[in-house]
Structure 1
Amino acid sequence: MVMVTTVRDYINRMLQDISGMKVLILDSHTVSIVSVVYSQSELLQKEVFLVELVDSISMSKEPMSHLKAVYFLRPTSENIQLMRRQLATPRFGEYHLFFSNMLKDTQLHNLADSDEHEVVQQVQEFYADFVAVDPYHFTFNIASNHMYMLPAVVDPSGLQHLCDRVVDGIAAIFLALKRRPIIRYSRTSDIAKRIAQEALKLMYQQESGLFDFRRSEVSPLLLIVDRRGDPVTPLLNQWTYQAMVHELIGIKDNKVDLRNIGKSSKDQQEVVLSSEQDAFFKANMYENFGDIGMNIKKMVDDFQQVAKSNQNIQTIEDMAKFVDNYPEYRKMHGNVSKHVTLVTEMSRIVEERKLMLVSQTEQELACNGGQGAAFEAVTNLLNNENVSDIDRLRLVMLYALRYEKESPVQLMQLFNKLASRSPKYKPGLVQFLLKQAGVDRRTGDLYGNRDLLNYALNMARGLKGVENVYTQHQPLLSQTMESIVKGRLRDVDYPYVGNHFQQARPQDVIIFIVGGTTYEEARSVSLQNATNSGIRFILGGSAVLNSKRFLKDLEEAQRITRTTSNVI
């Protein structure tokens, strides 16, 4: 299943069977779901002349009986209440209600009771309760993402809310797939185990009829893992295009906010970075930063050739041809200036923060041994006036994760140095990270120390040299996928839930990371799928992380933990 196509198909079905002028009404979640796969111009082609948020519709009293209202909402109790109020005093001629997940019988009855004016034409469940960032990458955009780090006793209702949202989203994925999975989870993660058990209960007991598709193929595998199993990946600087844009500028729902970048023009305050809508981005999203610069130069040269030929308008025919091609010309112009702006801004940040220097040490910490040299390199960077506070913090965290058991004295020296050099540094944050994601809390073999084969591969890679020192790191997810392909994912590390076991090699594997995914991991999934191993991998998570978001979640979890322990 390609995630983007699935959501687009649902939206197509939603809009094309309703003729005439329409208003599309969304909530704060479904607006993200729709916006990443459907453009404004495509909505216009489907005769959608207005897009509104469901809570703002409640505030307006103006009747619009000439419009047909198409609602696409998550089936939350808040949305049902809003719908009931809006149906009591209808503003539109017709109401077509679509929900992104399973409706409860009571919710359906409540809606029916509220439809006294009989304006509701249909109510359907369309299982698109996820944001399809890329064909093999989805997210749930959970705002309270830090909850996964908290013990259940700290905020039981908050943790339950996180679990419910993840289980609902996962259920929608498999209802869209029309499959019921075999479920495994990361042994050392309580939250992964809890989600796995609740997903099993929903799919095999509470809604077993809905998930009984009676298909004979091998069941897909759902593997639920914890971000704390690999805290290194979200802490590293990135050097491939999509991941780097998110790390240095930020991507939200495939959009990049350029308002704070001086040279961006008025029509480029916010730009779209979508592999579905931008051919250049699709071809270059996983390329190294050095190659991107060369490829953008070629795109600029190509555009200049087109611009030059357009300037040479001498006849009526030339003019007509130019007018015909004008939308393409404008699109090409917009694309060129967008990518030039992004690369120029990232180059400025790299230079300002001396990221090539910082990143070389980060990669050494993530990929190679040598504790003495690492301590010296990190100390030198902490003393470097050009290194920013956040980069100093990440370096000490990466060192601590790598050498937490080997050098407590030197680790303490780095803590003290960090506190003295970075006034914004929150005391104890590195120690909190070790408590959350230290070696005793991790399932996988993050540094290839336990598995002799991994150790040998790392040695071979080191001897042979890596094509690019800045992209030598491989996320733990790569190793996990390789284990699945080879049938070597250990039951002791990733147990099954219930009495449902994988009898044969799965053809589809959904790996869900509680705590969030990274674009580096999405790249690994795409590259793995390109090898045609016979298994298709899909990656999902509670949020899409960069180092800033990961550290923010860590700080919030630390703050709540401290507050709770003080109260106790």
Structure 2
Amino acid sequence: MVLVSAVRDYVYRMLQDISGMKVLILDSQTVSIVSVVYSQSELLQKEVFLVELIDSISKSKESMSHLKAVYFLRPTSENIQYMRRQLSNPRFGECHLFFSNMLKDTQIHLLADSDEQEVVQQVQEFYADFISVDPYHFTLNMPSNHYYILPAVVDPSNLQHFCDRAVDGIGAVFLALKRRPIIRYSRASDIAKRIAHETAKLMYQQESGLFDFRRMEMSPLLLIVDRRDDPVTPLLNQWTYQAMVHELIGIQDNKVDLRSIGKFPKDQQEVVLSSEQDAFFKANMYENFGDIGMNIKRMVDDFQQVAKSNQNIQTIEDMAKFVDNYPEYRKMHGNVSKHVTLVTEMSKIVEERKLMLVSETEQDLACNGGQVAAFEAVTNLLNNESVSDIDRLRLVMLYALRYEKESPVQLMQLFNKLASRSAKYKPGLVQFLLKQAGADKRTGDLYGNRDFLNIARNMARGLKGVENVYTQHQPLLFQTMESIIKGRLRDVDYPYVGNHFQQGRFVAIYKVIELFWESLQ
């Protein structure tokens, strides 16, 4: 049940059986789906000599009858209209149509009516309607996914589009993995309930035949949760490699754009950071920042040894050996340069923003009690000229989430201090956060102070201490998955959809989540 392999298999099947020179035509979303699992060199090996976006190629009238067109598109109304126009005046000798999700009958009829010259050789559904950023995690790349928390001001059609895209993506994941799950959701979230019920309707009613897979001894679990249940985790500065790159520089479709942080050679302005293509990154993506520095030093030392041996070329045999090993040497050089650059730039950001100082207080706010000490620490950091505006806002938000019920007077003082020091961040942002994700809106025990077992666990951890004060916080998701594995996830907080119910100790868990849990250990 590895997501990258599932999508790679779909792309392989699209390209392998179509011989000859091909053009691969994608849309703005499928280009991300393909790019994270297939490199340009791999596409060339499949005789793909041109990759184009469907909206761009629709504007061109140049005939390419010598090429076979492989379309991989989302089955949206817009893409169907693009296809109808292209089929009515075809530019390619053959057209092979692949859609990333389920086609409606009406869409198939529209395509058939437009194909008067019969250039379409096949139409297939390949369920890869998600971006598999690594083997166990996927995203749907929805840039407006925050709209769902703005029901009073957002256009209802946008909210429906958000739900439809989420259901489409979830459905495609389970079709790719050939599983039909039991579905649960976060009780306090209307949007989680809506997505859960619409997903169940898709799997068990509308397309029950597609999802009629062989029954497993243990059914997988799909749990729909709301980001508002844990507003703390995204407010904390992170200290593991992948999370730091994403937080401080940014990762999009496994690519890191370095142009915004400095001037770099052209071949280093955008680098690929993928666990499937980079062995060092795969081994270190969850390591903390201190260990990363030492591991990169060892990688640099190894590269220097290889470089010295390549400089000692004295015979024809030495030269031939160097030529044979040159591609691997060049790849190693690029890898070393990439990781040294990333860690160097992140080190500069950590120092400039005093993130180690800020993070220590953030972790205390997330993990420990003590309102008086917390108020003093946050006040001191708000007064610190080296602390950035965004970090000041985060600190006040973390304080507000922790002590919203305990210290309204002190909270107002922090609002005023924030307004005076960081003019572009208004206190209204903090108040909006409390309105959307405050204690009254959340499911679960975010701070571990309502459930006796969580209180005991926190006390034990406090007595033993923590190895690293910067990584002592555990996301609520960690506790949630622990409860799933032990069969302790409360039905009242996370109800089932339909007639599914718990019998004895529930240990069935969707493999993607199970492996993610193991990576957190």
CA distance in 1, matches of 2:427, 2:120: 57
Structure 1 residue 525: Cα displacement:
5.5
1:66 deviates by 1.3
Cα distance, 1:216 vs structure 2: 4.3
Aligned length: 519
AA of the residue aligned to 1:252: Q
What is the deviation of 1:205? 1.2
Give 2:518's aligned residue. Answer: 528
Partner of residue 143, structure 2: 143
Q: State the SS of the aligned residue for 2:282.
A: helix
| Equivalent position of 1:542 in the other structure | none
Provide Cα deviations, 1:133-162, integer angstroms capped at 9, x if missing partner.
111111000021111202278421111110
SS in 1 for 2:497: coil
Q: Unaligned regions of 5+ residues in structure 2, if any?
A: none
Q: State the match for 2:449 in structure 1.
A: 449
Whole-Å separation in 1 of the counterparts to 2:334 and 2:225: 40
Shift, 1:529, TM fit: 5.6
Given the alignment of the two structures, is residue 505 of structure 1 paired with residue 507 of structure 2, yes or no? yes
Q: 1:24 maps to what in 2?
A: 24
**By how many angstroms is 1:213 displaced?**
2.0
SS at 2:349's partner residue?
helix
Q: CA deviation at 1:426?
A: 2.7
Q: How is 1:104-115 mapped onto 2 (pairs within 5 angstroms)?
A: 104-115=104-115
Against the structure 1 CA distance between its residues 67 and 347, is the aligned structure 2 distance closer, same or farther, given a 3 Å change threshold?
Answer: same
Bigger mean CA deviation after superposition, 147-156 or 24-33? 147-156
In the TM superposition, what is the alpha-carbon distance from 1:64 to its structure 2 partner?
Answer: 1.0
For the pair 1:439 / 2:439, whether they are aligned, the reply is yes
Q: Which structure 1 residue ranges, 5 or more long, are not aligned?
A: 512-523, 532-568
Q: Output the TM-score relative to the length of structure 1.
A: 0.89
TM-score, normalised to structure 2, is 0.97
Counterparts of 2:289 and 2:195 in 1: how far apart (Å)? 38
**Deviations for 1:341-392, whole angstroms, at most 9, x for unmatched residues?**
0000000000000000000000000111111000000000000011110000
What is the letter of the counterpart of residue 128 of structure 2? Answer: A
Query: Could you tell me which residue of structure 2 aligns to residue 103 of structure 1?
Result: 103
Question: Match for residue 490 of structure 1?
Answer: 490
Is residue 182–residue 502 contact of structure 1 (8 Å, CA) maintained in 2?
Answer: no
Task: Call closer, same or farther: CA 1:157–1:217 in 2, change over 3 Å.
Answer: same
Residue 492 of structure 2 aligns to a residue in which SS?
Answer: coil
Measured against aligned partners, the alpha-carbon deviations of 1:77-117 in whole angstroms (never above 9, x if no partner) come to 00000001011111111111000000000001111111111
Taking the aligned partners of 1:419 and 1:262, their CA distance within structure 2 comes to: 31
Using the alignment, how far apart are the partners of 1:366 and 1:408 within structure 2?
18
Answer yes or no: is the 8 Å Cα contact 1:96–1:120 preserved in 2: yes
Could you say what secondary structure the match of 2:237 adopts?
A: coil
User: Comparing both chains, which one has the higher relative contact order based on Cα–Cα distances under 8 Å and sequence gaps of 6 or more?
Assistant: 1
Which residue in 2 is equivalent to 1:380? 380
Other structure's SS at 1:447 match: coil
SS of the residue corresponding to residue 428 of structure 1 reads helix
- Matched residue, 2:80: 80
Deviations 1:223-255 (A, max 9, x none): 000000000011110100000001100000110
CA drift at 1:197:
0.9
Name the SS of the counterpart of 2:225 in structure 1. Answer: strand
Amino acid at match of 1:128: A
Alignment of 1:34-45 (within 5 A): 34-45=34-45
**1:265 CA displacement:** 1.9
1:530 CA displacement: 8.2
Q: CA deviation at 1:333?
A: 0.4
**Contact preservation (8 Å) 1:300, 1:336:** yes
Give the corresponding residue for 2:176.
176
What is the letter of the counterpart of residue 366 of structure 2? A
Q: Which residue of 1 aligns with 2:461?
A: 461
CA deviation map 1:398-446 (0-9, x unaligned): 0000000000000000000000111111340000000000000000100
Counterpart contact for 2:25–2:52, Cα < 8 Å: yes
Letter of the 2:256 counterpart: V
Does the CA-based 8 Å contact 1:221-1:510 persist in structure 2?
Answer: no
- Change in Cα spacing, 1:510 to 1:297, as seen in structure 2 (3 Å) is closer
- For each residue in 1:169-212, what CA deviation from the matched residue of structure 2 results, as whole angstroms up to 9, or x when unmatched? 11111111222111100000000001111111111111112212
Distance 2:386 2:290 in 1: 23
Q: By how many angstroms is 1:260 displaced? A: 2.8
Moved more, 458-467 or 396-405: 458-467
Offset, 1:289: 0.3
1:132 maps onto 2:132 in alignment = yes
Percent identity, please: 87
* 2:33–2:130 Cα contact (<8 Å) kept: yes
Over the aligned positions, Cα root-mean-square deviation in angstroms equals 1.4
Q: Contact between 1:200 and 1:497, CA under 8 Å: does it hold in 2?
A: yes
